[in-house]
């Protein structure tokens, strides 16, 4: 699988999981398992050092980082962070415009 295929596939799933978590439809543990599964699947992706980043990929990795970095309570209750997570989720799902200050990089 190539980078663009992986990002296209996982973006829709990531947006779904983030939205479900923020709306209290799933527990944090389920979101966390999805993140770790995504990292594991990433190891199967063929990546060339010359593969450029797309804007969607940058936002994808930024969103993964935010979910992995912040504790559950902060993710749920920090309104500015919630807004950022929603904006990023919308963008990688094909809705909205590019979020400001997204500096996501590949693991």
* Residue 43 DSSP SS3: coil
**Cα 89 from Cα 35, distance rounded (Å):** 14
Grouped pLDDT means (10 residues each) for the chain, 107 residues: 94 98 97 97 92 94 97 96 96 92 89
Say how far residue 105 (Cα) sits from the centre of its chain. Answer: 11
CA dist 18 → 1, 33, 40, 98 (Å): 24, 12, 18, 17
> 41-50: string of b/e by CB count within 10 Å (b at 16+)?
ebeebeeeee
The predicted pLDDT at position 102 comes to: 85
The predicted pLDDT at position 48 comes to: 87
The predicted pLDDT at position 33 comes to: 97
């Amino acid at each position: 699988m190539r980078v663009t295929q992986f990002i296209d596939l996982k973006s829709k799933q990531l947006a779904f999981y983030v939205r479900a978590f923020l709306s209290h439809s799933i527990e944090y543990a389920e979101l966390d398992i999805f993140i770790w599964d995504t990292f594991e699947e990433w190891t199967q992706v063929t990546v060339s050092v010359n593969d450029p980043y797309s804007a969607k990929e940058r936002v994808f990795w930024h969103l993964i980082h935010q979910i992995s970095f912040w504790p559950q309570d902060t993710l749920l209750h920090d309104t500015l962070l919630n807004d950022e997570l929603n904006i990023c989720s919308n963008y990688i799902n094909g809705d909205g415009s590019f979020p400001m200050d997204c500096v996501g990089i590949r693991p």
